[in-house]
Chains A and B, each alone.
Chain A
Amino acid sequence: MAQINLKGLRKSFGSVEVIHGIDLEIRKGEFMVFVGPSGCGKSTLLRLIAGLEEISAGDLEFDEKRVNNDVPAKRGIAMVFQSYALYPHMSVYDNMAFGMKLAKSNPGEIKERVHNAAKMLQIDHLMDRKPKQLSGGQRQRVAIGRAIVRDPRVFLFDEPLSNLDAALRVATRLEIAKLHQNMKDVTMIYVTHDQVEAMTLADRICVLRDGLVEQVGTPDELYEKPASVFVAGFIGSPKMNLLQGAFSHDFDCTTVGIRPEHIEIQTDGAAKWRGKVVHTENLGSDSFIFVDIGHTEPVIVRQIGSHRIPVGTEIGISPIDQHIHRFDENDQIIG
């Protein structure tokens, strides 16, 4: 329900500045993902928006109203923490009702809202249990339920999936995507270091690096038009091939990037590069072929379906011209 504006937001801990001035507009009802390597400041930025950390400089606006000095509860936010942060001594019901009870809401309304949220998340049969009697996935649902009950304008997620195992992670990811569908007008901000989560959940992604915004855009934009070498390397799995030196000079740039699926194996003599296969990873649906063409790292080539090429085989490969990304000496995109 809220549009969030970050204007020149800065955060210092003592004399160390960790957020160096961030300008960002998050639209109403948008699912925004902050992604970046650890230490990039994404969690700090989320905590600034939540009000858990004090803003050192700049303005934070919710619906054009400055909220810098509002306490978290006044901002109309709800937050899902990495460790779930359920109150261990309270039942599931009390965990979810705690915020409303503190706000002295009408008991009937509390009951209704808690039960609706529980039903939505299919945890209504667990209401009397204590957190330690729940599985990891159930705890995560309760944490999300607690946030829903608050009926927030802004929903904040701080790496909510990182404590779950791989299978549960996929299921919960789906759950969060559905939640976003059902709560169309609630703005959601989600922090993760996992680019797969970012790509699958986000309306828009904000890539952060060393306390600065590197690029903001839809998942497709980031994938297809990365603005810098950093984004190019961060988004996509396996990583985009980034070649320097003689390899990039051919393309008149400092670094040239080609995604694995944009390289073709050529059997005729017209291949751009030749090299020996050093390793293949066969996933069944795709295969990744690692080719040593004399660059510091082998080039990864994606082939659809199952391909087995013996190690040591010499093959020729060529990039597809229209999918080449060229970067200048400052690692920024050319053109």
Chain B
Amino acid sequence: MKYYVQETCFYLLVLIIVIASVFPFYYAIITSFKAGTALFEVDYLPTSFNLANYAEVFASPNFIRSIFNSVFIASATVGFAMFLAITASYALARVRFQGRGLLLMTILAVSMFPQIAVLAGLFELVRFLGIFNKPWAMILSYTIFTLPFTVWVLTTFMRDLPMEIEEAAIVDGATPWQIITKVFLPLLWPALVTTGLLAFIGAWNEFLFALTFTASDTQRTVPVAIALLSGSSEFETPWGMLMAASVIVTVPLIILVLIFQKKIVAGLTAGGVKG
């Protein structure tokens, strides 16, 4: 008897966890399918399937534009960070040199920087380079968190590759560059995908820099567009459209995360980094 009570409690707890995790997103979805006054009735189950909100979102050129902006900025940031991080993490993971530990700590420290601390200086830099209100401003500033993150995670992954494989390549006459490109990269591609994806999500979600370094509606990234989407007063907030937009930008992320679930967990726990 005691066993059944325990088991029931356990599964009840599991149920609560699942509901708590999923419900807000579920509620956003059912809201996004409501239009007009139906929006302001609280329903726990789907009651209508009205695509008006989605039509409105897709009819808004600035929102579509912001999606393209975000995709471009996040891809470019990740590409740039990965390019620099792959060689750097090889050096940090596989070559013994003085001050390596200190360097690793510094890189880790940069990833924990409060972004506000560099905001003023970056603002000046962005103005100086003439890239204010351009995607390059974000690509430049996002490097401050994507680069340390990718270096850090790739370093942990590279450290785990067996020593003897590298030594075999050395005996075969491979230079460090050839070891990276011909031996390590083919072995590390799952880790690269994970790291890239995590960095992409980080860049996709960034808000502070994107808010500060853009001024016109055509240059917004998705988070800024969603944050600034509001009516003329608090009571006119277009909740239906807002929920539709939220669902649109979140669904691809959730699908990606679910596909790469296991790898993402491995990437997150590699050295206990923030996602």
State yes or no: do A and B touch (Cβ within 8 Å): yes
B165, B168, B178, B183: the one contacting A79 at CB < 8 Å is B168
Contact B173 A73 (CB under 8 A): yes
Interface check A83, CB cutoff 8 A:
yes
Contact B187 A88 (CB under 8 A): yes
A50, A73, A87: the one contacting B165 at CB < 8 Å is A87
A72, A83, A86, A88: the one contacting B171 at CB < 8 Å is A72
- By a CB distance below 8 angstroms, the chain B residues around A150 are 171-172
A88 to B174, CA, bound (A): 16
Q: List 15 A-B contacts (CB under 8 A).
A: A50-B171, A52-B167, A72-B173, A73-B171, A73-B172, A81-B168, A83-B162, A85-B165, A88-B187, A89-B187, A102-B172, A102-B173, A102-B174, A102-B178, A146-B172
Interface mask (A77-103 → B, CB under 8 Å = 1, otherwise 0)? 111011101111100000000110011
- By a CB distance below 8 angstroms, the chain A residues around B173 are 72-73, 99, 102-103
Interface check B41, CB cutoff 8 A:
no
Interface residues, chain A, CB within 8 Å of chain B? 50, 52, 71-73, 77-79, 81-83, 85-89, 98-99, 102-103, 146, 150
- By a CB distance below 8 angstroms, the chain B residues around A103 are 173
Min CB gap B85→A, angstroms: 21
Total residues of chain B contacting the partner, CB 8 A? 16
A86 to B182, CA, bound (A): 13
Interface check B103, CB cutoff 8 A:
no
A83 to B170, CA, bound (A): 16
CB contact list, B147-181 vs A, under 8 A: 162, 164-165, 167-174, 178
**Chain A interface, DSSP helix/strand/loop, else mixed:** loop
Indicate whether A71 sits within 8 Å of B167 (C-beta atoms), given known contacts A83-B162, A85-B162: no
Interface check B121, CB cutoff 8 A:
no
Min CB gap A191→B, angstroms: 14
Tally the A-B contacts, defined by beta carbons under 8 Å.
55
Question: Across the two chains, which residue of chain A brings its CB closest to B161?
Answer: A88
Report the 4 A-B pairs with minimum CB-CB distance, sorted nearest first: A73-B173, A99-B172, A85-B164, A85-B168
A98 to B179, CA, bound (A): 11
Contact A72 B170 (CB under 8 A): yes
Interface check B231, CB cutoff 8 A:
no
Contact B172 A82 (CB under 8 A): no
Min CB gap A109→B, angstroms: 16
A78 to B186, CA, bound (A): 24
- By a CB distance below 8 angstroms, the chain B residues around A87 are 165, 168-169, 183
Min CB gap A15→B, angstroms: 15
A103 to B173, CA, bound (A): 7
Indicate whether A83 sits within 8 Å of B164 (C-beta atoms), given known contacts A73-B171, A99-B172: yes
Seed contacts A73-B174, A82-B164, A98-B174; 11 additional CB < 8 Å A-B pairs: A52-B170, A72-B173, A73-B171, A81-B168, A85-B162, A86-B165, A86-B168, A87-B169, A89-B186, A98-B182, A99-B171
CB contact list, B87-112 vs A, under 8 A: none
Contact A81 B164 (CB under 8 A): yes
Contact B167 A85 (CB under 8 A): yes
Interface hub of B169, B171, B183, B186 (most chain A Cβ within 10 A): B171
Min CB gap B82→A, angstroms: 19
